[in-house]
Structure 1
Amino acid sequence: MTDVSGFQTVNQGEPQQTGPLPFSFSGTGGEYFRIWIVNLLLSIVTLGIYSAWAKVRRLKYFYGNTTVANSSFEYHGNPVAILKGRFVAVILIIAYNLALEASGFVALLMIIAVAFAAPWLIWKSLQFKLYNSSYRGIRFGFRGSLKQAYLVYLLWPLLAGISLLLAAPFAHQRLKRFQHEESRFGSTHFSFDATVGAFYKRYLLFFAIWLTGFTAICVVFGGAVFTMIVSDGMTDARDTASMFAVFAFIFAMYVWMFLVFPIFATLIQNLIWNNTRLGLHHFQSEMKWTRVSFIAITNIIAIICTLGLFMPFAQIRYMKYRVESMTLHPEGSLDHFVAATQAQAGATGEGVADLLDFDLSL
């Protein structure tokens, strides 16, 4: 309930849930398909201009159907701000193509210029996205500085590239730490406890799993493929068998790629959210890679068989599983926390909204 000042208060006569609070997602493929198909058609008719409004409709639907503690999230983004980001992206693409036609050197300079501009663009986009997200009437926010953005989105990726990806787990940890620790809900900041070592363990585990599968496929199909390459004068029967082995090898590798990347996504999401806190409250993610792989493979098959029309249903399936794998573990009543946060956030001015008028939306 709310008092006369508009702030949320807690009715002492109502039972307060203080145990684990699972996230839920109530969106359906049929509902989202109608939004998706209208967005697609209008974006085509308007030569992409409507895509900014389409993004707002899509995010409002996903936010509004994501709930925790019987309350849903809200999205307040301004389509015009998103359209600005789209125009910037188009201008950069056109400029790059013109530079590429002029000379390779000019194109290289253009790539360098875009790389130096990217951290600022991403920084503005993060501010816009979080400020325009809310829960129970309280806005999220992002306090990270532009200097930190250049470290995270330029320096550390360069380090990862120079090190031949040996520093990729380090860069990944720094990026997620920046995104989470600099985010806030009202006046309460998030924290991030996952270490660089924990990221290296997940990356090494993923590499070991990938290498095991790759080796097994090579052992099973590699002999026949090698025979086809080095043999001369094969009979038609042997040639057919060898060609089938090549096809089976390529198909097995293709399937393995779709199985192994969900493993990585699962390892990383669980690591990130199991080490994220909001004040004293902490999150738990329990995604299973077997389920993620099943969803990914069946989604791809269905999208191919329906010539792309299954796309919105695929997005809903994955989003529903990802959201419902999350649980919030509050320290005490979440209602008390939200009420206190709202009271503190109420003193914060809305003047920053004028600075958050840009969203990079590719």
Structure 2
Amino acid sequence: MRTVRLVDLQPLHVAPASQAWASPVEAPLSLAWPPPIGSEAAEELMSEMRAAYRGAMASAPAPSNETPVPRLPKGSVTRLPVVLNASARDYAGIWIANLLLTVLTLGLYLPWARVRVQRYFLRRTLVAGSALDYHAPPTSHLPRYGLVMALVAGVLGACLGSPLAGLLAFSMALAVAPLAVHTSLSHRMAHTSWSGRRLSFEGRFTAVYGALLMPLVGLVAAAWLTLAGATFHHPMWWMALGFVIALWLLGVPLFLWTYFHYRQERLHLGPLRLGWKASPVAMVMLWARTAAWSVLVSSLVVGLGSMVLGALLWWQGPAHGRWAWGVVAVSMMAVAVAVTPYVQARLQNLVWSKTGNRSLRFRSRLSVQGYVLLQVRHAALLLLTLGLYWPWAVVASRRMRTEALTVWARVDTEVLKAHWTPFADTPAGLAAKRRASA
């Protein structure tokens, strides 16, 4: 064994930078002992390394989740139509089968019925000539359906025990509701594809609580104030309940704007992330128009209902108020039939006309008047046919809403597909392919 003492080692020196060598091969190995830890030289070396790292990070490009997709020349925009090729007769067969199986299984067939309906309509919806599709297996809906049924059963069982227990259960169910909304959006978009390319919804579940917190708090407060008013019989509780309800109704535009901002901002079409540019003022104006339309329709319906009720009382005489309750119920249904499609049409035009990015945007031109008249006609036909007209009403309504959409694109569809991973190449797509082959 040979022993080497540290004092026998000679310090290594770095060759001067100014010394020139004929070739890199002729240059001697330049090494130096690192400065001792804690010395001034070591601190200077670490400062230089930190400065170099900060400079490198500052000059590096900012990270981006989106893959850049080449756009068309400036000023070139392609309008891509959206077409629905569904048949009311074909959907009627699916609807009857789903209804019978759901009744026979006491509701257990609902996930399978939902998947059949989604696949039927999406596979017949064409965007730029390519069809949408839905790939979720029915069994994937079972956990969410089980959770909803458990919450409903828990709330009903607690209400049978005592009003206080029922209200506590109702409050706990509302606390879980935002998580169910986020799971539903993520699951639906993750299993929807266009031209074999998967769509996605990216966002943390904590964001949905920020979007739905205020309306849920208002509902819980109104429920607790109702229980307090019924228990203590003091006018103060009913005054507080009226104040909370009025405040909640005034906040509906902000609630809607917050929810749609949360939903639309997290939609991804492959490499393209969508955005939503609607302002809260636009939602307030939509709510004001809806309120004005509701007052107008209610006034008209109340006037006609009063005339009908007066004629019935004159013809039949006093009937202990049974005609009055029937006329009130029919009047409320008539108001809902006229107001609900009005809100749906206005919301679709506002939400989707403000959705998009620099490469792709949506436009919705759904006729509010035409859609309201269509739903009024459907309501009359459903009443005359005792509900058998339902498949034809669903197909006609969905076709009108779908074909009112247009996609304005500054990217070529083939170029977008080339930058978009096909659904069959994703883990979910491979699993679906294995299930289909099995």
TM above 0.5:
yes
| Counterpart residue identity of residue 405, structure 2 | M
CA distance in 2, matches of 1:221, 1:129: 43
Deviations 1:133-161 (A, max 9, x none): 01111111111211111111233443587
Shift of 1:304: 2.2
| Counterpart residue identity of residue 261, structure 1 | T
1:81–1:221 distance in 2 versus 1, CA, 3 Å = closer
2:142 is matched with which residue? Answer: 83
The answer to whether the aligner puts 1:164 opposite 2:248 as a matched pair is: yes
2:273 is matched with which residue? Answer: 189
Query: What are structure 1's unaligned runs of at least 5 residues?
Result: 1-16, 229-234, 355-362
Q: CA RMSD in A?
A: 3.2
| Counterpart residue identity of residue 272, structure 2 | T
Shift of 1:212: 3.3
| Counterpart residue identity of residue 188, structure 1 | L
Contact 2:337–2:379, Cα closer than 8 Å, also in 1? no
CA distance in 1, matches of 2:154, 2:430: 30
Contact 1:72–1:136, Cα closer than 8 Å, also in 2? yes
1:274 is matched with which residue? Answer: 353
Q: Identity rate of aligned residues, in percent?
A: 22
1:6 is matched with which residue? Answer: none
CA distance in 1, matches of 2:157, 2:302: 44
Tell me the secondary structure at the aligned position of residue 321 of structure 1: helix
Match of 1:261 among 318, 337, 340: 340
Contact 1:157–1:171, Cα closer than 8 Å, also in 2? no
Deviations 1:251-273 (A, max 9, x none): 66653442233222211110111
Q: How many residues align?
A: 325
Tell me the secondary structure at the aligned position of residue 308 of structure 1: coil
1:205 is matched with which residue? Answer: 289
Match of 1:99 among 139, 150, 158: 158
1:149 is matched with which residue? Answer: 208
Contact 1:157–1:168, Cα closer than 8 Å, also in 2? no
The answer to whether the aligner puts 1:286 opposite 2:286 as a matched pair is: no
CA distance in 2, matches of 1:113, 1:236: 51
Shift of 1:211: 2.2
The answer to whether the aligner puts 1:124 opposite 2:178 as a matched pair is: no
CA distance in 1, matches of 2:188, 2:331: 40
CA distance in 1, matches of 2:378, 2:296: 25
TM-score (norm 1): 0.80
Shift of 1:178: 0.5
Contact 2:196–2:424, Cα closer than 8 Å, also in 1? no
Tell me the secondary structure at the aligned position of residue 23 of structure 1: strand
Query: What are structure 2's unaligned runs of at least 5 residues?
Result: 1-75, 223-243, 432-438
Contact 1:190–1:279, Cα closer than 8 Å, also in 2? no
Match of 1:326 among 383, 402, 405: 405
Contact 1:188–1:341, Cα closer than 8 Å, also in 2? no
1:350 is matched with which residue? Answer: 427
Contact 2:174–2:216, Cα closer than 8 Å, also in 1? no
Contact 2:305–2:328, Cα closer than 8 Å, also in 1? yes
CA distance in 2, matches of 1:258, 1:278: 35
CA distance in 2, matches of 1:190, 1:125: 19
Deviations 1:175-217 (A, max 9, x none): 0011110111223211100010110011111212222343455
Contact 1:191–1:279, Cα closer than 8 Å, also in 2? no
